[in-house]
Structure 1
């Protein structure tokens, strides 16, 4: 059985076990003593430990992988001007997809009106908005004063800036630069092998994460906010399968179906972890080895996308804005909707790397159109599950932008992209790391 199949089975099994434990806990069929043992030793014990170790292992790889891969990629860009061109293309595409995402969300929210008849929830709403950084502070904080501190804190934008400068300097340093470049290329191969080793534990980590989540996630909140939940979910799927497919076909001519199929492992990881940053090792390996995107492009577009590409969050903000406007009976008008699009698009870059970025962005958007921030407390009950879906949407957007930019730069292997036998038994169940890890032999 291939690794991708095992991960999908582990995901489904984790959901089933979690839902079963939640039902047994709430129904008291087994008595408080037995359910207490399940909650203490399995849900909060074994599952929590295994899930946290798995997430920690993935995060362990993020900083060294991004730093080394990006230095290798910058070294490969022999013309210094290509770094600037690559950056402009990538950032513009990410801003375009974010604007499209929130526009679609506003349309879906207006069409299906999830806030109608929800006035009774207003009295229950409480929320204290986290402070949002100023534009001046954001711009200054992009540039590191201490690269070691940036790596220790996992500040992705600062790591990207340092790695680009380092790679550019290496590519301009003659023979010493070539020796250093060779070292980083070898180090990159070693780190990718480490990612492959971690893949062996992926099914267990995915099972533990989802079993714990669904064991603790009650259905009451989803039932109460069912219409909002379904509108956000439908918009996320429409954006991932519709907007991204259309952009990929129009701007690169590539087959969207092939991309979706090959990104399945990364999507599963993103869904399980609900963290684009923690999924970077898998996303980067998948984009390079399964889609055929050259490292010099993927090493830049994927980490940057994990930091500033917030299409899933933008969709949540768009639907939530309409939801709150309908619930509070506030007509924000066309100008208000345009302001939401502009604010959310710019905030996706302006708040990149800030903890709790989704809530900060939503608070900024609601403040801009004069809606009460307390409403955010209403949707927090279902936000964790939706966060998993929108993270999968975000990394799909990262892969689409990577493929489009790589195709425009002549850095995409179409033979690899169109290879439909990549997951065949002949390939030993290869998942992401180009033969360095094969599921058939562990």
Structure 2
């Protein structure tokens, strides 16, 4: 009987995929299909949990099969991250789009990301204060105890890590290892290596133009193919989001969400305020924030569903270039840096709230100016090198708490509600990256405002039709 129910659950999921495919053939817009997949996935997943129970054999077996579509999609996207980062940066040099302004653009991008993560931390402190989260007691269950024990190795690594050592770790030592994302700082290392290679290309271009021309042609050919692969995989987005949301809704611990509702609401308030800050920044440079939010919404929906800033990179960069009018070089730089520097949600709001919550347990008043100033500086420094994948916020929290000599057990105590909050944090991370790209492009006068102000979502149209 159980086998019949498992087959039924999977068959209904496949029927939903068939409907999405039919909508694609009828040229229903990409953003509408993505939003429908998000909503239907949540409703179907909650219905399954209500009927069978969160921990039932039917749910676990069905989820494993449905995960082929969800996790398989995320895996394909992560496959593209390193090739996309490497060849996008290198292509910007071979096209002379970054050659003369790389230092200025890179500095602006890093300054924007660091500045917004500091603001995000301040917003997190404010929200924690409003909801009086300081000293909040959290029940420790079996899952939480297991999570705390699992952080032992990470803590050992963090205790051995100094700030100078962390800076050195960002430099490429074995580029082949970094291309496999072997380290948390692999993305930055690949960006640095691609930049060095690009600068070397500029030197060869002056002395041996024929060799440089051949190299540029090879890079452009490979980059064109990589971008085509990006388009093909992005077409799978509605199906991947449907699978991811079904599994999250069906297997989430709703009781834990209810018990920790105060922290969840405080987190979402902080995230919402920070979204408004992004829109305010867009308005301050003379652009329409409503146009901005409409064009990035499909990207945010995907980030929300996937919980992966790195996995969202292809759609992020493509949307910046083709829908927001950001220049190629700046979109590539902001996208690459944004998945490992200054993540507003995971490396800004979350660790700041954790620090406010645990400080009173060791006799520290978390709202003194000296503590807040130290916390903001620690958050900004700690945000460098946080991987843009699920679990990045946990690592950021461990870094900040251990650096400030605060108890780290709270990171494990919140593990049961991580998926729900992490979805919104990831969307905020991506919003911060895209805000950085648009503002940097505007400041350097490289923003195509005609594309930005147009009503057409060019990248979405290409994904839907190609």
* Residue equivalent to 1:39: 60
C-alpha contact 1:262 1:290 (8 A) present in aligned 2: yes
* Residue equivalent to 2:125: 106
Aligned with 1:113: secondary structure? coil
Closer/same/farther in 2, CA of residues 15 and 352 from structure 1, 3 Å limit: closer
Aligned with 1:307: secondary structure? coil
User: Larger deviation: 166-175 or 60-69?
Assistant: 166-175
Note if 1:68 corresponds to 2:79: no
Aligned with 1:293: secondary structure? coil
Q: Distance in 1 between matches of 2:116 and 2:96?
A: 26
Residues matched between the structures, number: 420
Closer/same/farther in 2, CA of residues 328 and 12 from structure 1, 3 Å limit: farther
The CA deviation at 1:370 is 4.5
The CA deviation at 1:79 is 7.3
C-alpha contact 1:4 1:431 (8 A) present in aligned 2: no
Note if 1:271 corresponds to 2:298: no
Aligned with 1:371: secondary structure? coil
- Listed one character per residue, the Cα deviations across residues 9-43 of structure 1 (whole Å, up to 9, x for unaligned) are 0111111111111122339xxxx9xx533431x21
Match of 2:358 among 324, 335, 340: 324
Note if 1:121 corresponds to 2:139: yes
The CA deviation at 1:416 is 0.3
* Residue equivalent to 1:382: 417
The CA deviation at 1:274 is 0.6
* Residue equivalent to 2:343: 310
- Listed one character per residue, the Cα deviations across residues 95-145 of structure 1 (whole Å, up to 9, x for unaligned) are 1001000011101111221357x4363799742542323323322222223
* Residue equivalent to 2:198: 167
Q: Distance in 2 between matches of 1:354 and 1:12?
A: 23
Closer/same/farther in 2, CA of residues 355 and 164 from structure 1, 3 Å limit: farther
Note if 1:86 corresponds to 2:105: yes
C-alpha contact 1:307 1:353 (8 A) present in aligned 2: yes
C-alpha contact 2:41 2:245 (8 A) present in aligned 1: yes
Aligned with 1:153: secondary structure? coil
Q: Distance in 2 between matches of 1:152 and 1:97?
A: 29
TM-score by length of 2: 0.84
Q: What RMSD over aligned residues (CA atoms) do the two structures have, in Å?
A: 2.5
Q: Distance in 2 between matches of 1:244 and 1:371?
A: 30
The CA deviation at 1:402 is 0.5
The CA deviation at 1:225 is 0.6
C-alpha contact 2:53 2:59 (8 A) present in aligned 1: no
C-alpha contact 1:76 1:296 (8 A) present in aligned 2: no
Aligned with 1:263: secondary structure? helix
C-alpha contact 2:86 2:194 (8 A) present in aligned 1: yes
The CA deviation at 1:165 is 1.3
C-alpha contact 2:52 2:58 (8 A) present in aligned 1: no
The CA deviation at 1:304 is 0.6
* Residue equivalent to 1:426: none
Match of 1:96 among 115, 134, 140: 115
Aligned with 1:171: secondary structure? helix
Q: Distance in 1 between matches of 2:243 and 2:389?
A: 27
Closer/same/farther in 2, CA of residues 354 and 26 from structure 1, 3 Å limit: closer
Q: How does 1:43-442 map to 2 (within 5 A)?
A: 43-45=63-65, 47-77=66-96, 80-115=99-134, 118-119=136-137, 121=139, 126=145, 127-128=148-149, 129=151, 130-131=154-155, 132=158, 133-153=161-181, 155-174=186-205, 175=209, 176-240=211-275, 242-250=276-284, 252-313=285-346, 314-325=348-359, 330-332=364-366, 333-349=368-384, 351=386, 356-420=391-455, 422-423=456-457, 430-432=458-460, 435=462, 437=463, 439=464, 441=465
For structure 2, list consecutive stretches of 5 or more residues without a partner in the other structure. Answer: 1-27
Closer/same/farther in 2, CA of residues 261 and 105 from structure 1, 3 Å limit: same
TM-score by length of 1: 0.88
Q: Distance in 1 between matches of 2:451 and 2:434?
A: 14
* Residue equivalent to 2:46: 19
The CA deviation at 1:326 is 5.7
Closer/same/farther in 2, CA of residues 339 and 60 from structure 1, 3 Å limit: same
For structure 1, list consecutive stretches of 5 or more residues without a partner in the other structure. Answer: 424-429
Closer/same/farther in 2, CA of residues 374 and 319 from structure 1, 3 Å limit: same
C-alpha contact 1:288 1:295 (8 A) present in aligned 2: yes
User: Larger deviation: 350-359 or 336-345?
Assistant: 350-359
Closer/same/farther in 2, CA of residues 67 and 364 from structure 1, 3 Å limit: closer
